[in-house]
Amino acid sequence: MKLDPEVLARVQFAFTVTFHIIFPTMSIGLAAFLMVIEGLWLKTKDPVYLEIYRFWMGIFAMGFGVGVVTGIVLSFEFGLGFAKFAQIAGPAIGPSIGLEVLTAFFLEAGFLGIMLFGLKRVGPKLHFFATCMVALGTQISASWILSANSWMQTPDGITFENGRVVVTNWLRVIHNPSWLVRLPHMLLAAFITGSFFVAGVGAWYLLCGKHEIFGRRTVSLGLGFATVAVACQLFVGDLLYGKMLHYQPSKMQAAEGFWEENSPSPAPYNWIIIPDQTHQRNRFALATPVLGSLWLTHSLRGRVAGLKNTPRDLQPTMGMVFYGFHTMFIVAILMFFIVAVSLWLRVQQRLFSTRWFLRALVIMTPSGFIATIAGWYTAETGRQPWVIWGILRTADAISPVPGGAMLSTLIAFVVIYALFITAFLIFAFRMIRRGPEDAPDHAEASGSLVNALRTQVMDHAAATHPGEGR
Amino acid sequence: MALRTIAVLRDRQMLFGAPDLLGEAQMSAAPFSARRAIGVVLATLLGIGFFNALLGVFGLSAAIIALLLFISLAVLIFYGRSLDKTQS
């Protein structure tokens, strides 16, 4: 069997980056949430806020750790799987990633210890400052990464000389045409993810009849943040759609599932399609009439451009882009429904007693992660066949590495990451099941995974057999 | 392990099955009045209106106004109906 290094390199990067993005998204969202919660605690001195802070700090710490480790892998992958990309685009991309380390990581490293271990060791105001700095660090980190990725989507400020990118204007490299819209889109995605995560766990406690005050407060605050963030996201998402339609028309043509150069007027909105890339048509399409014109052209009779406007060899694979985009959009619709209903139930004073709504919140707990991953799939698969839009094709960016070597590292990543996610889920579920009352004042360093597991098992045994000593 | 399984099953029953813990009986016993039905329909229409306005269907200016209105409405409701203060 012949192994294609290009396909394997792409699968490997897709796998590792899909796994990675879960954790920074959670870290950015939870860090901002913790900052607000600690601020509310300082202002009101209400102990429930402190309880919420202590509980979510533990889950934040775990997510932050896994996010850092899996993020480092990606930098190495630029060299290992995409060496030609690193060689050609290094002068523009490298400094952005280096600056992320110098600004965001140093800031986070300086204050994370105080945040995690200093609740009883430093004054409350200094501790709050540390939390704010960690939250700021996560956002600065996202800014640099989004700047680098946006440059790959809409490159600017460079010339191409002797087969390499030469930077002519640093400001335009960083502040490239799509960065200022993609950055808030990603930050809002992280805030929404954190909000639904927090609200979902709170709803679960309410449904189980446990930790009721904690559950009410987290559901209320989580939905409060989500309401504002989801509304902003719809607005920013539409701005980004317009921007990408201008700079990357083929991506948006694929995202909407139209093939013909111009759609019928009025255009339907496609919900489900079975695309046939070879014959440039849809074998099946489930659509709502007129809605395509309304949502995509903001008029009743507007036409939508299809993928045949792009030469075949420059077309992305429609199925990947379409379903990435539509997963994100459908989750966004569900989120808007949930926050709108939450406002109605709040007015009716039935927010915490409507069981179907609480169940829906529990089901929506991972919705932010799903939408974020789907959004990134849209962004990355829609950019194909380019790795740097209009400059470097993905096929020309791959390292000259045998397929077998690429496959072996892919298998290693799958095994190691499966261990990571298993450990994360075991600890996160245990922390959630244990509840906020038993959350420690600060993160506990157990020295090793074995010790940590042993402690958890012993805690569980003590909880289930309270009469027996250790 | 058995104890843990029982605990997980108990939680699942509370989630999807149903000993009534939070007043579902009160809700289902409440009459679904015509006034409430009209309220639900109006709220749904308002929600659809906001959704489309935020997506820019009525233009950029309308989207900005809708965003400001929606956030103001949410903040007003959040502060006006802070349930955990009155019910906890």
Domain boundaries, chain A: 5-257+306-464, 258-305
Residue A120, judged by CB atoms within 10 A of its CB (0-12, 13-18, 19+), counts as exposed
pLDDT band for A262, please (50, 70, 90 cuts).
Answer: confident
In the predicted structure, residue A6 carries a pLDDT above the cut 90 = no
CB pairs under 8 A between A and B: 113
Q: Residue A458 and residue A455: Cα distance in Å, rounded?
A: 5
B87 in contact with chain A, both atoms CB, cutoff 8 A: yes
Mean pLDDT of A409-426: 91
B23 in contact with chain A, both atoms CB, cutoff 8 A: yes
Q: What is the pLDDT of residue B81?
A: 65
Which chain A residues have a beta carbon less than 8 Å from that of B52? 294-295
Among A206, A298, A337, select the one facing B22 at the smallest CB separation.
A206
Nearest residue in A to B64, CA atom: A235
Mean pLDDT of B46-61: 93
Q: What is the pLDDT of residue A163?
A: 82
Q: What is the pLDDT of residue B30?
A: 53
Tens digit of pLDDT for each residue in A288-336?
999 999 999 999 988 999 999 999 999 999 999 999 999 999 999 999 9
Tens digit of pLDDT for each residue in A84-138?
998 898 889 989 889 998 999 899 989 999 999 988 889 999 999 999 999 999 9
Are A259 and A270 a contacting pair, CB within 8 Å? no
Which chain B residues have a beta carbon less than 8 Å from that of A242? 56
In the predicted structure, residue A360 carries a pLDDT above the cut 90 = yes
Kindly determine whether residue A207 and residue B14, on different chains, have CB atoms separated by under 8 Å. Answer: yes
Among B11, B22, B57, select the one facing A353 at the smallest CB separation.
B22
Q: Comparing C-alpha atoms, which of A242, A164, A194, A464 is closest to residue B59? A: A242
Mean pLDDT of A332-346: 94
In the predicted structure, residue A58 carries a pLDDT above the cut 60 = yes
- What's the mean pLDDT when you consider all of chain A? 89
Among A213, A355, A362, select the one facing B88 at the smallest CB separation.
A213
Which chain A residues have a beta carbon less than 8 Å from that of B9? none
In the predicted structure, residue A80 carries a pLDDT above the cut 90 = no
Q: What is the pLDDT of residue B27?
A: 45
pLDDT band for A448, please (50, 70, 90 cuts).
Answer: low
State the pTM of this model.
0.87
B60-68 CB contacts, 8 Å cutoff, 24+ apart: B63/A235, B63/A238, B64/A235, B67/A231, B67/A232, B67/A235
Q: What is the pLDDT of residue A414?
A: 92
Q: What is the pLDDT of residue A79?
A: 83
Mean pLDDT of B51-57: 93
Q: What is the pLDDT of residue B35?
A: 82
Residue A43, judged by CB atoms within 10 A of its CB (0-12, 13-18, 19+), counts as exposed
Mean pLDDT of B66-70: 96
Above pLDDT 70, what percent of chain A?
93
Q: What is the pLDDT of residue A2?
A: 76
Among B27, B73, B84, select the one facing A213 at the smallest CB separation.
B84
Q: What angle do CA A93, A94, A95 make, to 5 degrees?
A: 100
Q: Write down how long chain B is.
A: 88
Mean pLDDT of A375-400: 92
Nearest residue in B to A218, CA atom: B84
Nearest residue in A to B22, CA atom: A353
The Cα of B34 is separated from the nearest Cα of chain A by a number of Å equal to: 15
Bridge partner residues of A453 (DSSP): none
pLDDT band for A451, please (50, 70, 90 cuts).
Answer: low
Nearest residue in B to A241, CA atom: B55
Q: Is the ipTM of this complex over 0.90?
A: no
Instruction: Count CB neighbours of A432 within 10 A.
Output: 16
Kindly determine whether residue B18 and residue A355, on different chains, have CB atoms separated by under 8 Å. Answer: yes
Element (H, E) at A272: strand A269-276
Q: What is the pLDDT of residue A326?
A: 96
In the predicted structure, residue A46 carries a pLDDT above the cut 80 = yes
Number of H helices, E strands in chain A: 15, 6
Are A194 and A30 a contacting pair, CB within 8 Å? yes
B55 in contact with chain A, both atoms CB, cutoff 8 A: yes
Kindly determine whether residue B16 and residue A352, on different chains, have CB atoms separated by under 8 Å. Answer: no
Kindly determine whether residue A350 and residue B27, on different chains, have CB atoms separated by under 8 Å. Answer: yes
In the predicted structure, residue A369 carries a pLDDT above the cut 90 = yes
Above pLDDT 90, what percent of chain A?
69
Nearest 5°: phi and psi at A3? -95, 125
Q: Which of B16, B40, B52, B54 to mutate to probe the A interface, most A CBs <10 Å?
A: B54
Among all chains, which residue has been given the structure tokens 């660090």? A137
Q: Residue A347 and residue B79: Cα distance in Å, rounded?
A: 11
B38 in contact with chain A, both atoms CB, cutoff 8 A: no
Q: What is the pLDDT of residue A449?
A: 53
Tens digit of pLDDT for each residue in B3-44?
454 454 445 444 444 444 444 444 444 556 888 888 888 989
The Cα of A343 is separated from the nearest Cα of chain B by a number of Å equal to: 7
pLDDT band for A465, please (50, 70, 90 cuts).
Answer: very low
In the predicted structure, residue A217 carries a pLDDT above the cut 90 = yes
